[in-house]
Amino acid sequence: MTTTAFIFPGQGGQFAGQGKSWADRNASVRELFRLADDVTQRPVSRLCFEGPLEELSLTVNLQPAVLAVSLAGALLHLESGLVPSYAAGHSLGEFGALCLAGVLTEAETFSLVAKRAALMQKAAMQSPGVMAAILNLSDEALAGACELARAEGTVVMANFNTPGQTVISGTARAVAAAVRHAQALGGRAVSLPVSGAFHSPLMGECAALFADELGEMDFKPPKFPVVPNALGTPVSDPDDLKRLLSEQMTSPVLWFRSVKSLEAAGVDTWAECWPRPYLGSMVKKCLDPGRHASLTCPAR
């Protein structure tokens, strides 16, 4: 008997045409995209299916677009017979996981994500920042590099993705300084195509505003445990899920810990809710060597 975790991506893997082939052949997927358009009052389906990529990649458009495609992917996994025992999402993907688990309805989730996206885009314009992935460097060494760089401004370790891949986030000067220190220690840096310093203190004001939005929401008990980014272990209490989601904008994404906790829980099938393998490569790098794992995306 398999134990399956549905995993939902965040920003970064978008492409023009995402979800179009699914919508072309599946009426339930088309209805999901219509709901996304109606609730968000944005052209989510057009941007997903046609682009242009530059417009799709704007935070205010991209977050509801990624949510729509990932929920469509989850729907197709369910139709194929996969049954989730757990759900987890990377950053924005946590909303898809909560929706799948029944904590929020689809309409509630689209509404929340549209508000989150607008707040984050505004915050990125008011407090500009950048993010960079640091490869081949221990977290301890990277923490030291960030400490040295804080003379230039704000910089924090924002995404703990895999052993040897951690994302830093902050002001441009401070991140550049941290990159220089990391490179001097043997690390390699890759700039990320994002519009702000997500999962950092620079998101503090919009996080407080989003917490007010969350406070109005009724979180229902999940049908199965969800792994919040801010904790990295499965949670079933709806009040805890709401609190941890409120903390998510300024706290690091503990993806490595999330995967390891699901591995320890016996997960052996990872159902990625995206048209192309994206999170799966990170999952493979997190699992114990030799660990049997099935990673699957819905058929395109």
169 as an active site residue: the answer is no
CA distance 115 to 172: 26
Q: Which of 57, 91, 169, 251 is catalytic?
A: 91
Reading the block at residue 88, the tokens are 């987890």
H-run or E-run covering 24: helix 20-25
Does 90 participate in catalysis according to the annotation? no
Cα torsion 3, 106, 57, 15: sign = positive
| Pairing of β 130-135 and β 188-191 | antiparallel
Nearest to residue 91, comparing CAs of 158, 160, 162, 10? Answer: 10
Cα 265 to Cα 90, 160, 181, 258: the distances in Å are 19, 20, 38, 11
**List 77, 90, 181, 199, catalytic entry:** 199
In one-letter notation, the amino acid at residue 48 is C
Report the alpha-carbon distance of residue 150 to residue 146 in Å, rounded. Answer: 6
Distances from the Cα of 263 to the Cαs of 259, 260, 287, in angstroms? Answer: 6, 5, 7
Residue 21: both structure tokens together: 């082939």
In the chain, the DSSP E strands lie at 4-8, 86-89, 130-135, 155-162, 165-170, 188-191, 226-227, 269-272, 294-296
Residues annotated as part of the active site:
91, 199
